[in-house]
Amino acid sequence: MRPRRVVPERSVLGPVDLAAEALAGMLQRPGRSLLTMLGTVLGVGAFVAVLGLTSTATGQIGARFDALRNTTVVVNDAGTSREPGPVGFPSDADARITALNGATSAGVWWMVPLRRPIIGATATVTAGSHANAGDVPVLAASPGLFAVTAPAMRSGTLFNRSHEHRRAQVAVLGAAAARQLGIAQLNAQPAVFINGLPFTIVGIIDDVARVPDLLMGITVPRSTAERLFPPPDPGSRPAQMVIQTERGAAQLVARQAPVALRPDAPARLRAVPPPDPRSLRDEVDTDLAGLFLALAGISLVIGAVGIANTTLVAVLERVQEIGLRRSLGARPRHVAVQFLTESTALGLLGGLIGTAAGVGAVLAVAIVRQWTAILEPAAVLPGPVIGALVGMVAGAYPAIRAARIEPLEALRR
């Protein structure tokens, strides 16, 4: 009778044992494991933070950009001085435009051409004196312009339709003009003299939402400028009207404005609707996102190199352990899977911590800046997966090298 053949028991490395061995390997040197995860933490954190901050900033910038650009229509006077009227806009231009559907406010303005201007806070200022602020621009504006520009007042008030109707000699100073003229308060009812003509200052503007020229100059009522000063030169900057519209109505108002203002000669006025800002904004966002994602990619590469180096060093330090495992029945694939699991786990933990850090950074910036945080799932959820993939790729070579160690050679060391 033949002796019974004994079949050796097959070596098996179960998932529970694999997880326990990988955890023991990582906890064997916790300081090294933490430093190994640092690169992945930085890379994944930068990845999540960049995408989150880009989306958040885009939302804020886009809202402000659209609110100003997409609701502003500019109508230029394209005529010449040979046509009737000093400017191409009728005296009731503001009312004609605000009657259009979608237009909320409108105002006309132009630069007043002055020959050898003498401007000062007193009547004694001469052309050659240091007090002459002749370089300060003088603007003519209809009262509706202030509704469009929404000025922030330092002191005083703005001229209104009553001043316009009476052709009153009043003026509103911009912050820069008031500083140059040395006028800070209106308690003493100061005046500004333009070529010897007195204008009572009724207000000083600190800031505007549109038409920043108002901050640099002296603004007088349109009717007053037409009575006292010459019309704009044909070769100079033409008179223009600035119109504020409701969202989505800018294109319609731009088409209707020339006819509403000058039905007798609509070709004299040229309306400029706001450009579509989405393409430019998308290009800027793409460039910024590409730049920051490149930086995040560099951080991930650094993290992958760190994991690879640490795992390779761990393989070299644990050669005898690997030889003992092989001699007790562990197969090459078991050793490779163990080290690959360790590196993947390190990458996964780094990805989780980095994702949390990136989300925290986005929320902190949004709170400080009083923004609305925008975190897209496509930017947050892949973070741990990216970390795990980085750890897996980084640990592939050390795992293969560990699997090729022969048990006899390892035990001889």
Backbone angles phi, psi at 230, to 5 degrees: -75, 160
> Across residues 333-342, what is the average pLDDT?
81
d(Cα 170, Cα 164) in Å, to the nearest integer? 10
d(Cα 56, Cα 141) in Å, to the nearest integer? 38
- Reduced to 3 states (helix: H, G, I; strand: E, B; else coil), residue 159 is coil
User: What is the predicted pLDDT for the residue at 51?
Assistant: 74
Residue 276: pLDDT over 60: no
> What separation, in Å, do the N-terminal and C-terminal C-alpha atoms of the chain show?
46
User: What is the predicted pLDDT for the residue at 5?
Assistant: 57
- pLDDT digits 0-9 by tens, 80-105: 544 544 578 999 999 999 999 999 99
Here the tokens at position 188 are 């003493």
d(Cα 38, Cα 179) in Å, to the nearest integer? 55
> Across residues 191-216, what is the average pLDDT?
94
Here the tokens at position 246 are 């409701």
